[in-house]
């Protein structure tokens, strides 16, 4: 996962900047780690004074001034490197990562969408991208920086006195070994815990996405109980896991303490042998801290890093490999006639459950065709297949002889207008919702479209077309949402119309008015109509009757009534409703 994150970082920033980041961190770490050598030189001069009673003022002054200049330069380099060479590229990577995952979320197929938990996606993107950012800060500021610091300190110790260096490093393998053991123990457990924390938000998401149903069924106590039980159990598991991390911090401190004791005992022995000076003891003690405290800090921060990597991995697994809506091999739609033909089309979600089987139907240019049948017969599925929400399993769907599977979905859908049973709207103003169909529409265009759709109620609202309509248009009634959706269709003025229960939410009076508007809109356009009201489909050129996943009848309204078969059985002329 770390390798993949580093590759993404390299791809999101200029490659030279990527390698400059590593070089700069290595450089500033080595530069900083050499600082105790100034102490050593000064203490060595003081030792000479106590031995010879001659105080070398010029040498100490020179070392002090060099040290001061060194410190000022270090402060400047430290600021510049972290601000410009580290922070800026990491924020660029953060920006590009957010864009990438958001684009992948928007580009996922309907099939993938149905397998996702929506609130889980929000949470994954939010936590995953943020954790990637903070992990990289830790990676450069601590892991790379501290690792180079430790290696530099070890190199200096080996240069000063190889015997003391080996004593200082004697417990290092123990510390690193225990470190890896803790990682192995905790990483998988933290992954499972992260999923449980996320599940809490899924419960809230289910409530929010179906809020009316949630309130109607009075599910507050049930959902509250589920949240309480899940948070309590996850909290207990997280506390048990955190004990491992806290133990890891303690053993790090113990190792530092024992190392100091070993160094002190060894120094006492070596100084009695006149083979180690006080200055060398000081520098060795200093570098004990420069070796073990960074390692302790890395151990302490390891819990956070494991969580961050876990979140990044889950984000990657869930969203990085999504099947994209658009492929380069697909082409734009260039069809002048708008002839639609389904040739032996079969479709299923699961192989053992057919949805459509060997469907044959045709809508000639400018023709109105209607689809009728029992609930679940596959009428709405036919519309979804034409929009390429799903790809068919067998057969072909042709537009003027061109297979829709070779066309870009965005290009195909830009020529199709849809009004369905469930007309969701965005939590924006009415004006913004309408302009999605035609961004260049003027205020007059919007008002004309609303009038054609019999949506005069908009003009009576306090803010008119500027009114924000709430999540999924919940501030409007079903009929009002339907009329705004139809107004949006007037603005788009597409070549192909798909009306899936387009007037189902309207009263009889408004339905008749809307039907006249739709008739004007459909004139000269290829249209597919799904409806239960006979008044909606009586004037269709061809009616296709679906039963048991197949087309069992087709013809005009009069022809089908004369046959007295399936369509005749469905029709109830008294109520003008298809049963």
281 plus 356 within the same structural domain: no
**How many structural domains is the chain composed of?**
2
pLDDT higher at 303 or 476: 476
Cα gap 299→177, rounded to integer Å: 12
Same domain, 304 and 380: no
Same-domain check for residues 302 and 392? no
183 shares its domain with 286? yes
% pLDDT > 70, the chain: 85
Over 50: is that where the pLDDT of 111 sits? yes
In a domain, 406, yes or no: yes
Confidence of residue 506 (pLDDT cuts 50, 70, 90): low
Question: In terms of domains, do 286 and 396 share one?
Answer: no
Instruction: Look at residues 320, 347, 362 and tell me which one is the last residue of a structural domain.
Output: 320
Does residue 240 have a pLDDT over 70? yes
- 547-569 pLDDT, tens per residue? 888 899 999 988 998 888 888 88
pLDDT for the residue numbered 575: 47
Q: What is the CATH number of the domain that holds 349?
A: 3.40.50.300
Per-residue pLDDT of 368-409, as tens digits, reads 999 998 877 888 889 889 988 888 888 999 998 889 888 888
Is the pLDDT at 446 greater than 50, yes or no?
yes
Quote the domain boundaries for residue 540.
338-415+498-506+526-579
* The pLDDT value given to residue 423: 67
pTM: 0.64
Domain match, 316 and 364 both:
no
Span of 225-239, 280-294, 356-370, 480-494 with lowest mean pLDDT? 280-294
The CA–CA distances, whole Å, from 150 to 176, 236, 415, 571 equal 13, 36, 64, 85
Q: Which residue has the higher pLDDT, 574 or 22?
A: 22
CB 167 within 8 A of CB 262: yes
Alpha helices in 169-277 (DSSP H): 172-209, 211-216, 220-272
> How confident is the model over 257-314, as pLDDT tens digits?
777 677 677 767 776 666 666 777 777 777 777 777 787 777 767 767 777 887 787 7
Element (DSSP H or E) covering residue 78? helix 57-80
pLDDT tens readout for residues 330-354: 667 666 678 899 999 999 877 656 7
Tokens of 393: 């399993």
CA distance 574 to 579: 12
Are residues 404 and 273 located together in one domain of the fold?
Answer: no
* Over residues 204-208, mean pLDDT: 73
> In this structure, is residue 195 part of a structural domain?
yes
Segment 178-182 long-range contacts (CB within 8 Å, at least 24 positions apart): 178/248, 178/251, 179/248, 179/295, 179/298, 179/299, 179/302, 182/244, 182/245, 182/247, 182/248, 182/299, 182/302
The secondary element (H helix, E strand) that includes residue 6 is: helix 2-12
């Amino acid at each position: 996962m770390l390798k993949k994150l580093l590759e993404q970082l390299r791809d999101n920033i200029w490659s030279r900047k990527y390698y400059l980041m590593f070089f700069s961190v290595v450089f500033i770490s080595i530069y900083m780690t050499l600082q105790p050598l100034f102490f050593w030189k000064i203490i060595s001069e003081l030792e000479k004074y106590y031995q010879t009673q001659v105080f070398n003022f010029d040498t100490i002054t020179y070392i002090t001034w060099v040290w001061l200049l060194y410190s000022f330069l270090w402060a400047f380099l430290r600021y510049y490197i972290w601000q410009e060479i580290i922070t800026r590229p990491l924020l660029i990577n953060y920006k590009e990562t957010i864009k990438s995952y958001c684009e992948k979320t928007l580009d996922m197929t309907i099939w993938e969408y149905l397998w996702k938990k929506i609130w889980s996606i929000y949470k994954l993107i939010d936590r995953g991208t943020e954790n990637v950012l903070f992990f990289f800060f830790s990676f450069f500021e601590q892991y790379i920086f501290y690792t180079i610091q430790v290696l530099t300190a070890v190199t200096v110790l080996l240069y000063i006195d190889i015997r003391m260096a080996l004593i200082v490093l004697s417990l290092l393998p123990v510390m690193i070994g225990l470190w890896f053991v803790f990682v192995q123990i905790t990483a998988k457990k933290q992954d499972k815990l992260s999923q449980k924390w996320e599940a809490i938000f899924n419960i809230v998401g289910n409530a929010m996405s179906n809020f009316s149903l949630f309130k109607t069924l009075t599910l507050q106590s049930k959902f509250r109980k589920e949240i309480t039980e899940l948070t309590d159990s996850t909290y207990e598991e997280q506390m048990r896991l955190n004990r491992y991390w806290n133990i890891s911090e303690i053993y790090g401190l113990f190792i530092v303490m024992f190392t100091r004791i070993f160094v002190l005992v060894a120094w006492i022995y070596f100084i009695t042998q006149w083979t180690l000076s006080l200055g060398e003891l000081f520098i060795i003690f200093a570098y004990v801290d420069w070796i073990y405290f960074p390692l302790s800090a890395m151990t302490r921060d390891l819990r956070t890093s494991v969580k961050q990597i876990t979140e990044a991995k889950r984000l990657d697994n869930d969203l990085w490999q999504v099947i994209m809506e658009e492929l380069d091999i697909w082409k734009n739609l260039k069809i002048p006639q708008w002839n639609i033909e389904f040739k032996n089309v079969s479709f299923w979600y699961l192989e053992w459950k057919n949805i459509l089987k060997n469907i044959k139907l045709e809508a000639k240019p400018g023709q109105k065709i209607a689809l009728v049948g029992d609930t679940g017969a596959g009428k709405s599925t036919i519309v979804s297949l034409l929009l390429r929400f799903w790809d068919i399993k067998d057969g072909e769907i042709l537009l003027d002889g061109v297979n829709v599977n070779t066309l870009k979905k965005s290009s195909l859908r830009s020529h199709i207008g849809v009004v369905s049973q469930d007309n969701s709207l965005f939590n924006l103003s009415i004006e913004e919702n309408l302009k999605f169909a035609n961004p260049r529409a003027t205020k007059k265009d919007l008002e004309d479209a609303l009038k054609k759709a019999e949506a005069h109620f908009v003009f009576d609202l306090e803010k008119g077309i500027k009114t924000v309509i709430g999540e999924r248009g919940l501030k409007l009634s079903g009929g009002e949402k339907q009329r705004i959706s139809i107004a949006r269709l007037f603005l788009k003025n597409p070549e192909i119309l798909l009306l899936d229960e387009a007037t189902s939410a309207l009263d009889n009076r408004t339905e008749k008015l809307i039907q006249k508007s739709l008739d004007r809109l459909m004139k000269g356009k290829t249209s597919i109509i799904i409806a239960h009201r006979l008044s909606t489909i009586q004037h269709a050129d061809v009616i296709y009757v679906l039963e048991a996943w197949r087309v069992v009848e087709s013809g005009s309204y009069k022809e089908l009534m004369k046959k007295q078969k399936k369509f005749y059985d469905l029709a109830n002329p008294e109520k003008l409703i298809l049963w």
